[in-house]
Amino acid sequence: METFFSFLERRVDDCSSLLCVGLDPHVSMLPEASAEAALEFSLGIVQETSAYAAAFKPNAAFFEFFGAKGWDALSELIAAIKAESQRMGSMIPIILDAKRGDIASTAAAYAKSAFDHLGADCITLNPYLGKDSIEPFINVPEKGAFLLCKTSNPGASDLQDMLVLNDEERGKMKDDDALLPLSSFQPLYIQVAKNAQRWNLNNNIGLVVGATQPEALANVRAAAPDLWFLSPGVGAQGGDLATALKAGLRADGKGMLINVSRSIAKAESPKRAAAELRDEILQVKSQLGL
């Protein structure tokens, strides 16, 4: 059965790369504040890096910023990535970074917008509203979703690190006088990882886990041994590539997309920067015997 992750893994094999190239046309990076400039900026990065990209990740916010014109630019960008993929003879998955999350009928409208209208293959989602808010995005196996699990921003700890009662222990809490040891708890982000692993019946759910906290990466890998991670934070945000890969790679040497945006976009040669990152990842994998 073709699924989003069988599609991604084919591309990973084709380009020997675990690099996800983020397309973040922040207005400060553009020569002028226009949707056309955002599109041109993004197309330039696609052209330079397509040989090394296991996936592209356009960020909806920086297109939405330009209103209707930005929306057209995003649509044109996705079509251009597909055309470039066809030219190369290897389709590159497109992950729409939109971090959506809404109740069912509204979620269905977002899913239709992202997958059918824009033509993205995958989307980032927020898990706070629970399983029924995720379902409209994952009921077609060829389309996928990465759920926010442990993000790389400073405020991530506000909720994600809170200690919650294990599912199993919760059932035992009938007695109000019961006392529970520390081992009954786990961080909220681990519960999200366990939910995702359980919900992944179509091989199309992954997790967003920042590369800046290797310990958290290792914990999420233990809780969700099968899932793909989308890991931002290497480069501009200070995450160390080798440490992150060691903590997060699956035993098959896959299971992790290293997302890089700014340090590729700002490089003198984005092409060379992407090639070097691809090779660095290969080198770490070989050191790990993967």
Q: How far is the CB of 73 from a second copy (least distance, A)?
A: 9
Residue type, 143: K
Interface segment toward a second copy; rule CB under 8 A; list 3-11, 188-196, 239-247, 277-285? 188-196
* Residue 109 binds a second copy, judged by CB under 8 A: yes
Which is closer to a second copy, CB of 91 or CB of 108?
Answer: 108
Residues 20-59 vs a second copy: string with x where CB under 8 A? ----x-xx-------------------------------x
The answer to whether 99 touches 149, Cβ cutoff 8 Å, is no
Q: Is 99 a catalytic residue?
A: yes
Single out the segment in contact with a second copy by CB under 8 A; choices: 9-17, 41-49, 110-118, 244-252. Answer: 110-118
Q: Can you tell me the distance from the alpha carbon of 243 to that of 280, in angstroms, rounded to the nearest whole number?
A: 12
- Stretch of residues binding a second copy (CB under 8 A), selected from 42-50, 77-85, 178-186, 221-229: 178-186
Q: From residue 66 to residue 105, what is the string marking binding to a second copy with x (rule CB under 8 A)?
A: -xxxxxx--x-----------------------xxxxxxx
One-letter amino acid identity for 260? V
Determine, following the binding rule CB under 8 A, whether residue 155 of this chain makes contact with a second copy: yes
**Do the Cβ atoms of 230 and 206 come closer than 8 Å?**
yes
| C-alpha to C-alpha distance for 141 and 6, rounded to whole angstroms | 10
Angle between helix 241-248 and 214-223 (nearest 10):
20
Q: What is the CA radius of gyration of the chain?
A: 19
Complex with a second copy: residue 81 or 98, whichever CB lies closer: 98
Rounded-to-integer distance, Cα 267 and Cα 276, Å: 11
Q: Which of 99, 194, 246, 271 is catalytic?
A: 99
Q: How many C-beta neighbours within 10 Å does residue 80 have?
A: 15
- Of 259, 219, 253, the closest CA to residue 239 belongs to 259
Nearest Cα residue to 113 out of 60, 153, 175, 161: 60
Among the candidate windows 43-51, 187-195, 214-222, 249-257, which touches a second copy by CB under 8 A?
Answer: 187-195
> How many residues lie near a second copy (CB under 8 A)?
68
Give the count of beta carbons closer than 10 Å to the beta carbon of residue 11: 17
Candidates 34, 90, 106, 263: give the one binding a second copy (CB under 8 A). Answer: 106
What lies within 8 Å, CB to CB, of 174 at 6+ separation is: none
Q: Scanning residues 156 to 175, which ones bind a second copy (CB under 8 A)?
A: 156-160, 162-165, 170, 173
Residue appearing with tokens 């927020």: 126
Nearer to a second copy, 102 or 276 (CB): 102
Residues that bind a second copy (CB under 8 A): 24, 26-27, 59, 61-62, 64-65, 67-72, 75, 99-107, 109-110, 112-113, 117-118, 126-134, 148, 151-160, 162-165, 170, 173, 176-182, 185, 188, 191-192, 195
**Catalytic residue numbers?**
99
